[in-house]
Structure 1
Amino acid sequence: MTESALITAWGKARGHIIAAQAAPTFLLTAVIGFLAVGLATADPAVRIATAGILLASGILGALAQIAAANEGLAVIADLRALDQPSALAQCIVAMGKWVNVVRFLTPAIFVVVYVALLAALFLGAR
């Protein structure tokens, strides 16, 4: 692939990473808001459904993030192999180590927030 094609592929992977974070972030934020107005005291079936929706969206979001991050790392490896990369290509290569934040840290944070929300849904004040 040419450098230009690789940079375009990087842009697409980066866009996918951002999009994959949007839905779970929105849902987690919404549930926190709903907890403030009484979700924790809602019917158990509603609370279980809420937990299931959060889990499904979190899993799908994490998988999309990991896949996009892996694609981004492949692009970075190809950019790194170029004989005379442009300044932009060098900048993208330098960002490579931070792609692991998307692969590992962001899904780990989701798990921590998900567990905290489960505690609020099922162990909170009734």
Structure 2
Amino acid sequence: MTEQELIQDFNKNRLHVILAQLAPTALLAFAAFATPEIATYSNYLKAAFALILLASGILGALAEYSAASQAQAAIDDLRVLPGKSALRSRIISFRPWLDVIKFVTPTIFIAIFATILLGLYY
């Protein structure tokens, strides 16, 4: 692939990361506000609510992980091409931050999910 194609691929995957965060973030924000009310519901409805959050979180994390991994692959390919443009150097320097998306973001989701579960049942 050419430098331009790799940069376009990186940008496409960066956009996918952003879009993959929107639905789970909105759902967690809704859950934070709805949890006090839902905590008064039956255990079956609370479990259904928790499972919806869990499924959304898992799917969102997988989408983010996949897009971040593909962006890292584009950076790895970009790194071995000849030439040194400023844009290319900036993109290459961003590679370690994609690990935040792959590992830190799901960890934060788990912490929020656990906190919501505590709010539902205690």
**TM-score range normalised by the length of the shorter chain:** over 0.9
Code of the aligned partner of 1:22: L
The TM-score, its normalising length taken from structure 1, stands at: 0.93
Deviations 1:42-81 (A, max 9, x none): 1222211110000000000111111111101001101111
Structure 1 ranges of 4+ moved more than 3 A: none
Q: Map 1:1-126; keep pairs closer than 5 Å.
A: 1-36=1-36, 38-123=37-122
State the secondary structure of the residue aligned to 2:9: helix
Higher mean C-alpha displacement, 9-18 vs 80-89: 80-89
Code of the aligned partner of 2:15: G
State the secondary structure of the residue aligned to 2:83: coil
Code of the aligned partner of 1:28: L
Code of the aligned partner of 2:77: D
Alpha carbons 1:13, 1:71 under 8 Å: kept: yes
Deviations 1:8-33 (A, max 9, x none): 00011001111111111111100111
Q: Where does the alignment leave 5 or more consecutive residues of structure 1 unmatched?
A: none
